């Protein structure tokens, strides 16, 4: 396979409802899609950076620039002939995991399409159906939160994730636990909003039998997460902190993560995501597939990843309609009353 042409497409999509997290509110999504043309055909990738560098240091304008001026030229110069050549060709550039991941995704897509091979089978899928969880933002009122969660339970989501921040944690979680009952898996995500001083406060969440608490402290505070993990009965899960295989190994060894959220973009692509999955399976660490408000392109690819055997917890892989009135793919992602069918979603 030989690279021929790169096309960057930037589209704006409104969200059906504002998505508020501890780091800000998104009302629309600035999406960067990548089309790679090779001598054997084309492939698509989705870059999961956001408009603002708030979830992480990456942002869409920066992604487009680094892809155009640095990453793609390096790939062409290296003469890559397969998706597995992409990461080594880009290794000398620091960071920019989401941009690197998007390029690798596009090359892998082209390679598999050319050989008529299946995305999910190639990654190592062992299932055709996966459970679907939903991520629920922060609201102005408890009533609004309650209504939204009730709607998602009706939609068929089997696990609820509540975004939390200081001032919006114990009481909303208590209300939702009472509302959905003890049988529905519930977890929380703070997106780095707390500090080590909040450890005893976060321990109050223990009474709600949560599946996990996701990234409560800043991404670089590995020691703080290890301290929290020792203090709390709720399993600590890391998202933002895990940007590579190396950080995954370290946070596990140091006792800072008992569960890992794997997002392909955050770790430099799907091939790296599979390696982290394999590491976690070997170490007995449960993983689940995170989401970055992807369009159907990234969402379908994530569904394939989430069907690997180590993904034992429901992912943030919701229906297209969770975020978008109209997705950009021909067949939007849907959730049935029990599970999402990857068999129907992926070739
Ligand atoms: O795609 O379902 C989704 C979103 C899931 O909450 C979600 N993602 O920290 O896990 C996370 C957030 C990051 C969103 S930033 C755009
Ligand atoms: Mg998260």
Ligand 1 nearest atom to the CA of residue 317, by list position? 2
In this structure, the residues whose C-beta lies within 6 A of any atom of ligand 1 are 50, 55, 135, 189, 191, 239, 290-294, 316, 318
Name residues of the chain where pLDDT drops below 70.
Answer: 338-347
Give the integer Cα–Cα distance in Å for 173 and 154.
Answer: 19
Which residue owns the Cα nearest ligand 1 atom 9?
Answer: 191
Catalytic residue among 100, 120, 161, 163: 163
Q: Which of 148, 291, 318 to mutate to test the pocket of ligand 1 (most atoms within 8 A of CB)?
A: 291
- Residue-level pLDDT at 192: 98
- Residue-level pLDDT at 336: 86
Give the integer Cα–Cα distance in Å for 47 and 228.
Answer: 32
Which residue owns the Cα nearest ligand 1 atom 16?
Answer: 292
- Residue-level pLDDT at 166: 98
Q: Which of 15, 148, 293, 294 to mutate to test the pocket of ligand 1 (most atoms within 8 A of CB)?
A: 293
How many Å lie between the centroid of ligand 2 and the Cα of residue 263?
9
Give the integer Cα–Cα distance in Å for 100 and 105.
Answer: 9
Q: What confidence tens digit (pLDDT) does each residue in 210-222 have? A: 999 999 999 999 9
């Amino acid at each position: 396979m030989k690279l021929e042409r790169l096309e960057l497409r930037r589209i704006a999509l409104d969200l059906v409802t504002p998505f508020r997290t501890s780091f800000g509110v998104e009302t629309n999504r600035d999406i960067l899609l990548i089309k790679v043309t090779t001598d054997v055909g084309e492939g698509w990738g989705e870059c999961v950076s956001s408009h603002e560098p708030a979830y992480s240091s990456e942002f869409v304008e920066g992604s487009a620039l680094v892809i155009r001026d640095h990453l793609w030229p390096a790939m062409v110069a290296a003469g890559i002939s397969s998706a597995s050549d992409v990461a080594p060709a880009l290794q000398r550039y620091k960071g920019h995991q989401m941009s690197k991941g998007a390029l690798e995704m596009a090359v892998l897509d082209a390679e598999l399409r050319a050989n008529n091979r299946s995305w999910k089978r190639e990654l190592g899928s062992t299932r055709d159906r996966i459970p679907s969880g939903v991520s629920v933002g922060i609201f102005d009122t408890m009533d609004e939160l309650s209504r939204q969660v009730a709607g998602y339970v009706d939609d068929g989501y089997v696990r609820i994730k509540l975004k939390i921040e200081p001032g919006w944690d114990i009481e909303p979680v208590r209300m939702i636990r009472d509302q959905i009952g003890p049988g529905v898996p519930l977890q929380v995500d703070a997106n780095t909003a707390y500090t080590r001083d909040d450890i005893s406060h976060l321990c109050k969440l223990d009474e709600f039998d949560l599946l996990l608490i996701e990234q409560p402290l800043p991404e670089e505070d590995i020691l703080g997460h290890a301290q929290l993990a020792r203090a709390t009965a709720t399993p600590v899960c890391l998202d933002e902190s895990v940007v590579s295989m190396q950080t995954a190994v370290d946070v596990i060894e140091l006792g800072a993560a008992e569960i890992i959220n794997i997002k392909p973009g955050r770790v430099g692509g799907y091939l790296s995501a599979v390696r982290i999955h394999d590491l976690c399976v070997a170490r007995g660490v449960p993983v689940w597939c995170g989401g970055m408000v992807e369009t159907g392109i990234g969402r379908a690819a994530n569904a394939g990843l989430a069907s690997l055997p180590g993904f034992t917890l429901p992912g943030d892989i919701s229906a297209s309609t969770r975020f978008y009135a109209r997705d950009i793919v021909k067949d939007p992602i849907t959730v049935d009353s029990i599970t999402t069918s990857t068999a129907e979603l992926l070739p």
